Chains A and B, each alone.
Chain A
Amino acid sequence: MNAIAKKTFTHTLKKLCTSTFIFSLSFALLPAAYGDDVVVGFIYVGSKGDYGYNQAHALGAAAVKAMPGVKVIEEENVPETIAVQNTMESMINLDGAKLIFPTSFGYFDPHILTVAPKYPDVTILHAGGLYQEGKHPLNAGSYFGYIDEAQYIAGIVAGGTSKSGKLGFIAAKPIPQVLRNINSFTLGAQSVNPKITTQVIFTGDWAMPVKEAEAANSLIDQGIDVITMHVDSPKVIIEICERRGIYSSGYHADQSELAPKGYLTGAEWNWPKVYTDFVTLLKDGKPFPHLLRGGIKEGLVKVSKYGPAVSAKTAALADAAKAKFMAGDMVIYKGELKDNKGNVVIPAGTALSQTDIQLESMDYLVAGVIGNTGS
């Protein structure tokens, strides 16, 4: 090869390399095209088929998927680490997502708070109700439901059905959200039968199937005949209750198919409504609520259909409570209320409505609950 030929050859090679490089780069940088559809991303902390927390959100995503002009992308098992920041950015950069729902509580601080300011034209809405006006980015928001209202009704059903008067509650961690569910469930049951007790077992984390199974078995061995829970996936507990012939009350999603005989009812999220509402607002370019909270009345939470074991009398009591919630004149937390150590936590004459900030930092278990909040 002579010098000139060599030079042309290298030149061509160089040119070829650069153009291929630019081509591949631009190709790689282009978000995948989905036509004019709005791309909406959902991020789950666990498996979306967990019969629980994540499945409830995935049902919401499925409802959004059915809307016209929307393309839904989903990613499951994303931990609350830098991984979720990267997943959000990957959805934005590679898929062109304009709206993202990261659905785990721990995704908010610092992860959403880090990513949202970098992409002002993308909206990130978080399940957890942590948004603070003036402090957090304008393109972020947070929503959550007062699911303890549904737990209160489930408590009425449990209290009315239990023969032993002993209920069981398997919970992940003694944090305010969980304590509030345990207390509301117990207060609901006590409204039917004041002598009722709830034995609590904390497993320490959100998804501990082995510990949950051990806890369920030990509760049943103690003569407890209704068990409910606050863990990410109630599947194991519900199945054990059914197998051992006691009643169960579900959580997060409808688990009745796991226990056709013993499933009484359950406290469920109503994410399809929340998500389709948000997507409709954002698609039309309308302003959206940065902090959305609500209970049964607002349609954020609901109660599963009553199972075959629920008597007509008990169902009527539960429906009456539900009607009061719908009318907006039901107060769960009112004085005088004592904790299970005998201290007065709400003095006589005081009534705390669901929106009361004091309830957000609940650190006690009400009288009638057996267990303690120390971890």
Chain B
Amino acid sequence: MKALALVAAMEGLLIPLLALLLSLGIFGVFLLAVDNDPFGVFYSMYRGGFGSPFSWRNTLERAAPLMLTALCTALPARLGLIMIGGEGALVIGGIAAASVGLSLNGNAPWLVMIAMVIAGAFSGGLWIASTGWLKHYRGVNETITSLLFNYIAIALLNHLITGPMRDPQSLNKPATLPIGSANMIADIPELGVHWGLAFGLVLCLLYYLIFQHTTLGFAVRIIGGNIRTAKIVGLPVGRLTVMTCFFAGAAAGLAGMIEVAAIHGTANGSLAAGYGYAGILVAFLARQNPLTVIPVAILLGGISASAGLLQRSHHLPDATVFILQGIIFIVILLSETLYGRLKLLCDERGRT
């Protein structure tokens, strides 16, 4: 059994690594085709994403929201659901956090902070839980619902910031009133990245433990494996579905709260910046595993951090990194077929 676990772990490490190398190779050919020096570009990518303390900060700041929005897709995937509502849950979480922050303004900052965290997580949770509910109790396709919920969330945001919640001073870029500098999330000392990163890391770890190592997580995986079996063995399928979706949405809602409280200081149109959609990519690349979400988010954060340098130093268009992301996405999805087939590891498996 132990050897089997070891093989599985090695596969889990080796296959994505090979896939990444292959992706870089294909990307290199693409760069050659557009008359660019692949190694120069790779070096710039390293330099822009990971080459200096500043680059690391840049990367981690971009990775922080992705970790949280990725969880919004990764958890429902364990139920067999394809949820793409991270963008909407993030926006709703941001609105809720801003309104709570504004209405409690003047109280002790720690109190406001806790209230904003709860508001962001709770509202995002309810947002996605309701799509889970619609799926289980009404049979509405969760992918479509969660996509449409994104549009509703963004429309609601636009309505609130141009109408009832608008700061009259925000003339040409509508926004809510600022929550106040006292209530903002600080930076992690030394690192210079805001504490939102810690939220992402902790939540990924926590969700990994819950959904990989508890009976609850096991029950959820049974539902994802075969919903009939789950019903026959008497699992409360509806409740587990709604609850898992709630956890998922809470993560994205928290991302929205962090955008408001660590970056913008207000809720405004920039909340819908595409983190929710990028999170879907992260979740799929991480094979819906909350723990793997961390390195994948950092990798994608690094790639997007280096995007600017590619434009500036190599005169490559902005879309270049999307091409790399697309190549990685396809190669990693294809590499899934390799699990259990690697010749190198096959003998080991046969022996156990």
A346-360 vs B, Cβ < 8 Å mask (1 yes, 0 no)? 000000000000001
**Which of B173, B259, B269, B273 is packed against the most chain A CB atoms within 10 Å?**
B173
B150 interface residue (CB < 8 Å to A): no
Q: Which of B156-164, B218-226, B288-296 contacts A (4 or more CB under 8 A)?
A: B156-164
26 residue pairs of the A-B complex, CB under 8 angstroms, read: A41-B312, A73-B312, A74-B311, A75-B311, A75-B318, A76-B318, A81-B263, A81-B264, A82-B62, A86-B61, A86-B308, A89-B58, A90-B55, A90-B305, A90-B308, A93-B52, A94-B52, A95-B312, A106-B269, A109-B173, A110-B265, A173-B174, A175-B172, A175-B173, A205-B269, A375-B163
B54, B158, B163: the one contacting A204 at CB < 8 Å is B158
Q: Which of B258-273 contact A (CB under 8 A)?
A: 259, 263-265, 268-270, 273
Kindly list the 9 A-B residue pairs having the minimum CB-CB distance in the complex, ordered from nearest: A28-B51, A73-B312, A77-B318, A28-B52, A86-B58, A93-B54, A375-B162, A80-B270, A81-B273
B residues neighboring A (CB under 8 Å): 47-48, 51-52, 54-55, 58, 61-62, 158-159, 162-163, 171-174, 259, 263-265, 268-270, 273-274, 304-305, 308-309, 311-313, 318
Asked if A176 meets B305 with Cβ closer than 8 Å, knowing A25-B52, A80-B270, A89-B54, the reply is no
By a CB distance below 8 angstroms, the chain B residues around A81 are 259, 263-264, 270, 273
Question: Are the C-beta atoms of B308 and A75 separated by less than 8 Å?
Answer: yes
B122 to chain A, nearest CB (A): 24
By a CB distance below 8 angstroms, the chain B residues around A128 are 172
Closest to A80 in B: B270
B180 to chain A, nearest CB (A): 13
B47, B52, B171, B263: the one contacting A110 at CB < 8 Å is B263
In the bound complex, how far is the Cα of B50 from the Cα of A24, in angstroms? 11
By a CB distance below 8 angstroms, the chain B residues around A175 are 171-174
By a CB distance below 8 angstroms, the chain A residues around B48 are 90, 94
A318 interface residue (CB < 8 Å to B): no
Question: Are the C-beta atoms of A47 and B173 separated by less than 8 Å?
Answer: no
Closest to B175 in A: A109
Closest to A205 in B: B269
By a CB distance below 8 angstroms, the chain B residues around A76 are 311, 318
Closest to B51 in A: A28
Question: Are the C-beta atoms of A82 and B173 separated by less than 8 Å?
Answer: no
Q: Which of A70-106 contact B (CB under 8 A)?
A: 73-83, 86-87, 89-91, 93-95, 105-106
By a CB distance below 8 angstroms, the chain B residues around A83 are 62, 273, 304
Report how many A-B pairs have Cβ atoms within 8 Å: 94
Asked if A110 meets B174 with Cβ closer than 8 Å, knowing A32-B313, A75-B308, A79-B273, the reply is no
Q: A75-B308, A93-B54 are in contact. List 17 more A-B contacts (CB 8 A).
A: A25-B52, A28-B47, A32-B313, A79-B273, A80-B273, A81-B264, A86-B58, A86-B62, A86-B308, A90-B309, A93-B52, A94-B55, A106-B269, A175-B171, A176-B171, A177-B172, A361-B171
Question: Are the C-beta atoms of B312 and A91 separated by less than 8 Å?
Answer: yes
**Which of A81, A174, A361, A375 is packed against the most chain B CB atoms within 10 Å?**
A81
**Which of A78, A94, A360 is packed against the most chain B CB atoms within 10 Å?**
A94
Contact residues on A (Cβ < 8 Å of other chain), bracket: 35 or more
In the bound complex, how far is the Cα of B311 from the Cα of A29, in angstroms? 19
Question: Are the C-beta atoms of B172 and A105 separated by less than 8 Å?
Answer: yes
By a CB distance below 8 angstroms, the chain B residues around A106 are 173, 268-270
Closest to B275 in A: A81
Closest to B59 in A: A86
Asked if A28 meets B55 with Cβ closer than 8 Å, knowing A83-B62, A105-B173, the reply is yes
A162 to chain B, nearest CB (A): 29
B52, B54, B263: the one contacting A82 at CB < 8 Å is B263
A8-24 vs B, Cβ < 8 Å mask (1 yes, 0 no)? 00000000000000001
